[in-house]
Amino acid sequence: MVGIPIKFDIHTIDLIKNLVGLAAEDIALIITGDDESKAKNLVEVKRRIYLEKIDSITPFPGVVDGIKKLRELGLRIAIASSTSRKTIEAVIKHVGIHSYIDAYVGSDEVVRRKPNPEMFLRAMERIGVRASEAVVVGDTRYDIAPAHELGSVSVLMCWSGCSDVDVKPTFYAYSMDDVIEITMLLLRTENSLK
C-alpha cells in the first residue's frame, strides 16, 4: 500500500485539476516530489485498482453510439490515451467499442507523453491519416495543445464545462451529437472543395 500525506486546500485542488489528462507516471512523479520508487508504486496501485473496478466504468452519454455513427460515416478512429495500452484494451472491450476502434496508443508506448504530440502522431500513423487531415477530440488541454501543434482540427469535449481549459480549440462540443455534427460539417466542407 502507498500512503502519501497530502493537505487538501485550494492550491492542492488547483494542482489536481491541472494534472487531469496527464499520464499516471507523470502525475505520480509530481505528487511524490520526483521520488521514482514511490511514483512507480503509486502507478502500479492506481492501475491495479482501476482494472479491478473496470465493471463499474460507464462511458459518457452517447459515446458508444457516437463512435458507431462516426464509423458509419467511413471514418477511421484511433485513441491516444494517457493510460496504458492494457487499460485502453480493457476499457474498450468493457464498453463494447473495440470493434469500432482502428488503433490505439497508450502512454507506455511512447517516449514523450502528453502534452507532447508524439502519441497523437503515432495514432495518426496507425490509421494512415496525416495530422492536417485529423480531427482530435479530447477533454483536456493536454489533448487540444498537441492538436494545435500538429495543425489538426481540435474539438474540446465539455462534459461538465470548459472553463478550466486555457487552450482554445477549433470547436467546442457538449455532447457526442455535437462531435458528429462538427464532423459532418467538416466532411461536407471537404467534399465541396474537391
Judgement on whether residues 107 and 39 belong to the same structural domain of the protein: no
Judgement on whether residues 16 and 98 belong to the same structural domain of the protein: no
User: Is 155 strand, coil or helix?
Assistant: strand
| Residues in the chain where the model's pLDDT stays below 70 | 1-13, 15, 191-194
Residue 5 lies in a domain: no
Judgement on whether residues 92 and 37 belong to the same structural domain of the protein: no
Judgement on whether residues 43 and 70 belong to the same structural domain of the protein: no
One-character DSSP codes across 74-128: T---EEE-SS-HHHHHHHHHHTT-GGG--EEE-GGG-SS-TTSTHHHHHHHHHHT
Residue 3 lies in a domain: no
Judgement on whether residues 94 and 143 belong to the same structural domain of the protein: yes
- Kindly calculate the radius of gyration of the chain based on its CA atoms and give it in whole angstroms: 17
Residue 108 lies in a domain: yes
User: Is 190 strand, coil or helix?
Assistant: helix
Q: How many CA atoms lie less than 13 Å away from 7 in the CB half-sphere?
A: 3
* Predicted pLDDT of residue 6: 56
* Predicted pLDDT of residue 47: 83
Q: What's this model's pTM, rounded to 2 decimal places? A: 0.82
Judgement on whether residues 69 and 135 belong to the same structural domain of the protein: yes
Q: Give residue 50's Cα distance to chain centre.
A: 16
Q: What is the number of domains present in the chain?
A: 2
Residue 87 lies in a domain: yes
Structural domain that includes position 159: 63-193
Judgement on whether residues 25 and 102 belong to the same structural domain of the protein: no
Cα–Cα nearest to 87, from 3, 22, 24: 24
121-130 residue pLDDT tens: 999 999 999 9
Residue 149 lies in a domain: yes
Judgement on whether residues 48 and 123 belong to the same structural domain of the protein: no
